Amino acid sequence: MFRRFIKRIKAIPHKGKEPYLSFYTILGFYPDRIHLYKEAMTHRSSSIRSKKGKWVNNERLEFLGDAILDAIVADILYKQFEQKKEGFLTSTRSRIVQRETLNKIAMEMGLDKLIISSTRNLAHNTNIYGDALEALIGAIYLDQGYRVAKRFVFETLIRQHLNMDKMLKSEVDFKSRLIEWGQKNKVDVLFEVVNASYDTQNNPVFESCVMVGGMNIGSGKGYSKKESHQVAAKIAIRNLRESNLLQEQITHQKNEDSNEALDKQLGVSFQDLPGE
């Protein structure tokens, strides 16, 4: 109680001043070690040389914040879902801390306005936002400790910016989407479990790959065959969206397979047919 009172007194000269005010708006408290929060918002493209000659950016804080966020989310889920098994807890944590989710939350919080970066087009570097959010969590942990960091994650990230019920109900069925795409484009989509092992806690782990048009375009691991299929399908869909070359290769392979099938039916190769 006395320590909190002292902190409030120290914060009085900083109230209403930048950058304390901006961070207070986001955090709900005034930072004690403001340099940590400035560092958390400094992208490596705008690294600053310290008095000791070292280049300072948010990569180290991001590393720390990533680990702290994982621990906090695991802590929250473990206590909130007492009857759920490890597979559910692991999957749910992954969905909360995935880069897409963190990028979205960082934007909603307004971190994009605080990030210092020399990168010209941040729109094509959206991971910058999620990275900065993890770095911010690392700064909070170093400045205020685990309890405050946990309260920030729970009250701000989860309660204000995540609808847990909606997130748990709206799981995207990537496997079905990929199969439907294959049917529409007349391309075979096959899933195969390529490896089964056990983790350090003796839980079964499955690794699957997805073959699209005879090409392996995605693989994934999970605590069930279904989960590994979903991860592989998600990666395959992302690869298809991001690579026109991959789409062309699949189309080319499909055409070759069609020609071979027709050759077998006719008993002759197109290349053996006489010219006009």
Q: How many CB atoms are closer than 10 A to CB 117?
A: 18
CA gap 178, 212 in Å, rounded = 9
Residue 222's DSSP bridge partners are 206
Catalytic residue chosen out of the listed positions 39, 134, 143, 207: 134
Neighbours of 5 (CB within 10 A): 9
For residue 66, indicate whether it is catalytic: yes
Amino acid letter, 205: V
- The single residue of 66, 131, 143, 227 carrying the catalytic annotation is 66
Which residue(s) pair with 210 in the sheet?
191, 218
Q: What is the DSSP string of the chain?
A: -HHHHHHHHHHGGGTT-TTHHHHHHHHSS--SSHHHHHHHTB-GGG-EE-TTS-EE-SHHHHHHHHHHHHHHHHHHHHHH-TT--HHHHHHHHHHHHSHHHHHHHHHHHTGGGT-B---S-GGG-THHHHHHHHHHHHHHHHHH-HHHHHHIIIIIIIIIH--HHHHHH----HHHHHHHHHHHTT--EEEEEEEEEE-TTS-EEEEEEEEETTEEEEEEEESSHHHHHHHHHHHHHHHHHH-HHHHHHHHHHHHHHHHHHHHHHHTS-GGGSPP-
Question: Catalytic residue at 134?
Answer: yes
Any idea which residues carry the catalytic annotation? 66, 134
